[in-house]
Amino acid sequence: MPDVTSERTETDHEVLAAVLQIRSETLQVLLWQRAQQPDRGRWALPGGLLGHDEDVQTSMLRQLEDKVDVREVAHIEQLGVFSEPRRVPGIRLVATTFLGLVPCDADPTVPEDTRWHPVAELPPTAFDHAEIVRDARDRLRAKLSYTNLGFALAPQEFTISELRELYVSALGHPVSATNLQRVLARRGVLVPTGEVAPPGPTGGRPAALFRFAERRLRVTDASAVLRPPNVGD
Amino acid sequence: MPDVTSERTETDHEVLAAVLQIRSETLQVLLWQRAQQPDRGRWALPGGLLGHDEDVQTSMLRQLEDKVDVREVAHIEQLGVFSEPRRVPGIRLVATTFLGLVPCDADPTVPEDTRWHPVAELPPTAFDHAEIVRDARDRLRAKLSYTNLGFALAPQEFTISELRELYVSALGHPVSATNLQRVLARRGVLVPTGEVAPPGPTGGRPAALFRFAERRLRVTDASAVLRPPNVGD
DNA sequence: TCAAAAGTGTTCTAGCTACACCCATGG
DNA sequence: CCATGGGTGTAGCTAGAACACTTTTGA
């Protein structure tokens, strides 16, 4: 409530992003190595303190500019608030966390202290950042199934095989190219460009190129069972 | 990041809950009427400032104790952060928001300045609270379809007709009792108690009583299309 | 002509909808 | 016996899984 008393209740507030990208057929997250105590040498998510005159998402994008070109971030969304009082030793710091996604064909230049790490085998991480990365991965996996979120991992144009590789890397389990193609086509998520990609050195039929019909998040799986009746009318 | 400089960056941080309940076959939200400026006379969500030594959810439950007996809150979850710099006039105040659900058979005593209001026709609300209520309603509607979240709206035991009424009120569209029964039974969400409810004054076959198999949130709709193969094995 | 890669056709099944029909009660 | 509300049986539909088969290329 806005009735702020004289009692001191302010807290520092940071924003943190788990920026994910498929690199070398592996789901990776952008981390930087802390040079100072506490948790010196451990790897941390990019972020920083919330400024006076910005909302959390604006702040997050601003902070990411230092680490990765923001134009490369195809999608960003809030994950949740981490606010355990002792999550960072020494000070009280509340974190609003984000999931960010970078298409696999982008190769942003990142600072010296910054590196991509496979989400499946994280190095020692600072504070509660490993949990945040897990949450981000789980959110991505869930949304790949019932939304068009693949657009944020894929390049502008791609073949079905390439898209399949991305889904396999993100989901961590086999995906059939045949069915992926049909499911996404039926839902109107993919549209053919009409072009084909040249075959590889070992030959094979040239693959048709596709792009995502929309590059903004949309829920595509209507199979929520308690939806309104007669939707088809 | 925990490298807090001498520069002043602290912000006040509040927690706000949209507490929803089905009352008189209508989805309603608990609001209190502001007695002070700003936005005096307008209706606001219950909440308050985050304390020094509590996480946001603990704080939220503590603040709700004043407005509604916490034991009545069957489910609570984070909705998101609202942080637009001028969302509250005069001060910078970041809000972590929650969705809370109260079973329809609970009738918590609420303070003088507090009242339930239909979500569909809100009175003039303070600040950005109407948007928060909308988000809460949308979250509830979505999760009713693919989780067992109904447990948080329903009493311990109920007939299928009663449950159907709750779903209709929350979703805002017709729901077939026949199919509701079968879907929830197939998913193992409902279990029959073996008892029956006495028929009403106009007769009719007595209805079987059910309860929710679990009273903690569980995702029950496996129809995420890109799930691992051979789940049935 | 063969291997490799891409794409299509077809069958099978699970889960949901719709609707007819049967059941148990009060009057 | 009938009206009322509750519950079940069943047929049809749709989306997805699995897999065989065809198409198009390079060598």
Cis peptide before B38 (omega within 30 of 0): yes
pLDDT tens digits, A68-77 = 888 899 999 9
Residue B103 has pLDDT above 60, yes or no: yes
Alpha-carbon distance values, A67 to A63, A100, A187, A232, B35 (Å): 8, 13, 36, 47, 46
Query: Kind and range of the H or E element at B145?
Result: helix B129-146
User: Closest residue of A to B90, CA-based?
Assistant: A2
Confirm if A225 and B221 have CB atoms less than 8 A apart.
yes
- In which region does residue A12 sit, left (phi positive, over 0), alpha (psi from -120 to 50) or beta (all else)? beta
Residue A226 has pLDDT above 80, yes or no: no
Alpha-carbon distance values, A153 to A26, A177, A211, B93 (Å): 12, 17, 12, 34
Residue B233 pLDDT class (50, 70, 90 cuts): very low
Smallest CA-to-CA distance from B87 within B38, B20, B19, B49 is with B38
Instruction: Summarize the confidence of residues A3-9 as an average pLDDT.
Output: 49
- Considering only CA atoms, name the residue closest to the C1' of nucleotide C23: B205
Min distance A78 CA to chain B CA atoms (Å): 7
Chain A residues with CB under 8 Å of B184 CB are none
Q: C-alpha angle A120/A126/A131, rounded to 5°?
A: 50
Smallest CA-to-CA distance from A94 within A104, A112, A80 is with A80
The verdict on A182 touching B (C-beta cutoff 8 Å) is no
Q: Are strands A26-33 and A43-44 parallel, antiparallel or unpaired?
A: antiparallel
Structure token pair of residue A197: 């990609």
d(CA A162, CA A143): 19
Alpha-carbon distance values, B118 to A88, A113, B106, B127 (Å): 41, 53, 17, 18
Residue whose tokens read 């929350």:
B170
Question: What pLDDT score does B225 carry?
Answer: 59
Diameter of chain A by CA atoms?
A: 75
B172-192 CB burial, b ≥16 within 10 A, e <16: eeebebeebbebbeebebbee
A13 and B14: CB-CB below 8 Å? no
Question: What pLDDT score does B1 carry?
Answer: 46
pLDDT tens digits, B4-56 = 444 556 788 999 999 999 999 999 999 999 999 899 999 999 999 999 899 99
Provide the mean pLDDT of chain B: 90
Structure token pair of residue A133: 């990365």
Residue from the list B12, B145, B180 with its beta carbon closest to the beta carbon of A9: B12
pLDDT tens digits, B140-164 = 999 998 899 999 999 999 999 999 9
d(CA A189, CA A217): 11
The reply to whether B176 Cβ lies less than 7 angstroms from strand D is no
Min distance A193 CA to chain B CA atoms (Å): 24
CB pairs under 8 A between A and B: 143
Residues 192-231 of A with CB under 7 A from strand D: 196, 198-199, 201-206, 221, 223
For chain A positions 120-159, those within 8 Å of chain B (CB to CB) are 127, 142, 144-146
Provide the mean pLDDT of chain A: 90
Residue B57 pLDDT class (50, 70, 90 cuts): very high
Strand C: positions under 7 A of a protein C-beta atom: 3-9, 15-20, 23-27
Chain B residues with CB under 8 Å of A11 CB are 10-11, 13, 50, 52
d(CA B99, CA B151): 15
Residue A229 has pLDDT above 70, yes or no: no
A45 CB-contact burial (10 Å; exposed 0-12 / middle 13-18 / buried 19+): buried
State whether residue B166 is helix, strand or coil: helix
Cβ contacts of A2-9, under 8 Å, gap ≥ 24? A2/B14, A2/B38, A2/B88, A2/B90, A2/B91, A2/B93, A2/B127, A3/B36, A4/B12, A4/B49, A4/B91, A4/B93, A9/B12, A9/B13, A9/B49, A9/B50, A9/B51, A9/B52
d(CA A125, CA A196): 43
Q: Tell me how crowded residue B108 is: count the other CB atoms within 10 A of its CB.
A: 18
User: Which nucleotide is the nearest neighbour of B199, by CA and C1'?
Assistant: C25
- Considering only CA atoms, name the residue closest to the C1' of nucleotide C22: B205
Min distance A112 CA to chain B CA atoms (Å): 17
Question: What pLDDT score does A200 carry?
Answer: 81
The verdict on B78 touching A (C-beta cutoff 8 Å) is yes
Q: How many CA atoms lie within 13 A of B204 on its CB side?
A: 11
Confirm if B79 and B99 have CB atoms less than 8 A apart.
yes
d(CA B203, CA B196): 14
The verdict on B4 touching A (C-beta cutoff 8 Å) is yes
Protein residue ranges contacting nucleic strand C, Cβ under 7 Å: A 159-161, 177-178, 181, 196, 199-200, 202-208, 223, 225-227, 229-230; B 176, 178-179, 182-183, 186-187, 196, 198-199, 201-206, 221-223
